[in-house]
Chain A
Amino acid sequence: MNLALVAIVLAIGGGAVLAVSTRNDAASAIGVAIALVGSALLSDPLPSAAVLGVRVVAALLVATMIRSAMRTGPRQPSPVGWPSEALLATAGAVAGLGLWVGIASLAASGGGLVGGPGSVEPGSTGAVSTGGVAVTSMALITAAGASLLALGAAPLVHGRPGPRRAIGLVLVTQAVLLLRIGVAGPAVELEEIAREALLVVAGATGAVLAIAASSSSGREDAEPAGT
């Protein structure tokens, strides 16, 4: 099961890199969808069907809203290119793993649960053995969250108003939501609803502001469509 989780983490990273680096609007929206749906599935064991449904619907809704914002907005590919973004995502993931190992060590030295920094998810099975350290699903979730944070922070903070900033906002929001689970354990059902509402609001807000930015007179700063 954890090998599947590794594949999902790779898909999340790949989707996010695609989302922030491509010039193609549709590919960017697909990248967002892959990253968000992958994040929804990143759990061992999978949550109940209702919670999973809420997560997937929210992810697809956000991807749709981002896509709609791109129809009117300028194209804003990554200024550093996809290889740099991929390296950044990898570095983020490694940092996330390091964070998790650090917290796990603190927990172990303080008498906490060694299997994970927070309350270990019930039924967690078969960790991936990496020598002396067992990488649990929580570690992978933390890695995915840190990876998304590394990718989304720059477009959010330094990006010009437009779809790229909206993507950054969504990725950073999803990153914090993943880190929350990776560090503190699974969320209860009410929190799941609140989390997905937050993700949808972030996507909707980013999309609305991107559309507004594209229609404002100050858009000459942005790269025109078709370039």
Chain B
Amino acid sequence: MTLLILAAVALGAGIATILLGPERRRGALTVGLIGSIVVLALALAMPDTDSLIVGGVGMVSTPVVRAMAVAWSASLAVLGLLEIAVGGRPTVVGPSLIGLAVAGLALATRDPASSMAALAAGGVAGVVVPGLAGWLDGPDIPSRLPTTNRGTLAILGSGLLGLSVIAWGASAAGPLGGAGGPVSIDSGAQLSLGLALLVIVAAVAIRTGLIPLHVWAARFMEGVSPLAIPAAFAWGSAAFVLVALDWSQVALGPAAAGDVERWLIILVAMVSVVLGGLAAMVHDDIEHVLGYSILQDAGVAVLAFASLDPSVVAAARNWLVASATVKTALAAWASVVRTTYGGHRLDDLGGWARHSPALGVAFAGILVAAIGLPNMALFRARTDLVVSAMPGFGQVVALLIAVMPAIYLGRIAIAGLAQVSPAVDAGASGRPRWTGGRAAGWSEGPLTQAIRAIPGELRANRAPLMALGVLVLAVMALLTATGGAGG
């Protein structure tokens, strides 16, 4: 029941935020922030196991649903505050709340067709709202509208493709249809199971923007606020992959992943893991690093389809929730750095960590969470996913994959410790300061004077406060990377 209330509040607040956004920015942000805080409270109050029947379908709140709801809503509350500080059109909280609502319902619902339809419907706002805002803000870049068009088609197309293969699965010719029992695994049935697995992986590849279907995603990330990227890609994709994995495991089973299918899936996943990692290493602008690192994470998750083993699916749950939380913190860091220092290329960001120690500490936390330590859930999940897909040499590959974020995030960290560049020096200081908004000491002046000073002090300390927000997200990323999602 708590999940239903959470979804209703998130959906209502999200739609209200989007509708209010174009005309009343402050009102929209207030509604969105209050909504995300209420949703966080509901997520924290949600029991680990809860079930009810809605519309003829059982809905079961599991630890994974709760973990995702808590992690997403908590990071969303911080992103909402950051969106207020960063400025610009409100494009983050509204679509995120809608995405959170449908993801929670989709993961709890026992009917995969309902889940897939809901995810397709709820995921579109995460692309359309920031995409159109980016297009309106960049009149000299008309290509942003076609990019939004392609993104919409990708989100809806992946959902419709998923819906189609789920319908096949439930048909009399599929493994769950007909007489209601499992079909015999002859060569024809094996072929159809394998094809169904490849189709659902294709839907996942379209949704997550895996290479070579990544062009729209890369262009999209260039034109929107970094704060809007997690809802569209990290969290939205995570929910989609989880639903697709659950269906594949139940409807197709491990038998669907024959040798040909397994190697095709590994190829698709590893192309994104390797090329995504390399692209993140060679790009100098932080939005591209963020985007390609999310793409690389999705590639690792797709490896779970290569075996469909229950333990690997559990690892995928941990990986998806933890990596989404880490990339949310990285997106917040990118947005704050861009807002504070104006630049987004490493050449312009020399000494950013020295100029803003809180941001530097937050980034160190993100770095550790992204790479992971051997006893962390994120590290184990990545290793399990890779080893299950490539037994024998998977351990080595997993270590190589773990090295990639160390390189591309390490470059940013090194830039932060370098000599302070003129652009960073000209930016707002990341250190807190007292502007003297109140003439007398705290113990002497009237209370009203102190209250009046608060807005001025908040404005004067915008940069350190934003850095504090990133620090909070980095701590959340570390906690989630350590504990996982209860998968």
Contacts and interface: CB of A to CB of B under 8 A. Distances in A.
Which bucket holds chain B's interface residue count? 35 or more
12 contacts: A107-B172, A110-B183, A117-B173, A118-B167, A161-B149, A173-B156, A184-B169, A188-B111, A190-B114, A191-B111, A198-B121, A202-B156
Interface in B132-154: 132, 135, 139, 142, 145-146, 148-149, 152-153
Interface in A87-146: 103-104, 106-107, 110-113, 116-119
Nearest to A175: B160
A227 interface: no
A217 B144 CA distance: 12
A107 B160 contact: no
Contacts of A180: 113, 163-164, 166-167
Contacts of A179: 164, 167
A202 B159 CA distance: 11
Interface residues of A, number: 47
B171 A191 contact: no
A197 B170 contact: no
Contact of B173 (A110, A191, A193): A110
A197 B121 contact: yes
Nearest to B125: A201
Interface stretch (A35-43, A60-68, A205-213): A205-213
A205 B156 contact: yes
B117 A184 contact: no
B118 interface: yes
Given A107-B172, A216-B142, A191 B152 contact: no
Contacts of A113: 172, 178-179
Contact of B159 (A198, A208, A209): A198
A154 interface: no
Main secondary structure of the interface of A (DSSP, over half): helix
A190 B121 contact: no
B167 A205 contact: no
Interface of B: 54-57, 109, 111, 113-115, 117-118, 120-122, 124, 128, 132, 135, 139, 142, 145-146, 148-149, 152-153, 156, 159-160, 163-164, 166-174, 177-179, 183
A216 B140 CA distance: 11
Contacts, number: 147
Given A110-B179, A190-B111, 6 more contacts: A104-B172, A107-B171, A111-B179, A179-B164, A180-B166, A190-B114
A118 B171 contact: yes
A23 interface: no
Contact of A118 (B139, B145, B170, B179): B170
A95 B145 CA distance: 35
Contacts of B132: 208, 212
A90 B99 CA distance: 38
Interface centre among B139, B167, B183 (most CB of A within 10 A): B167
Nearest to B53: A190
Interface centre among B115, B163, B169, by most A CB within 10 Å? Answer: B163
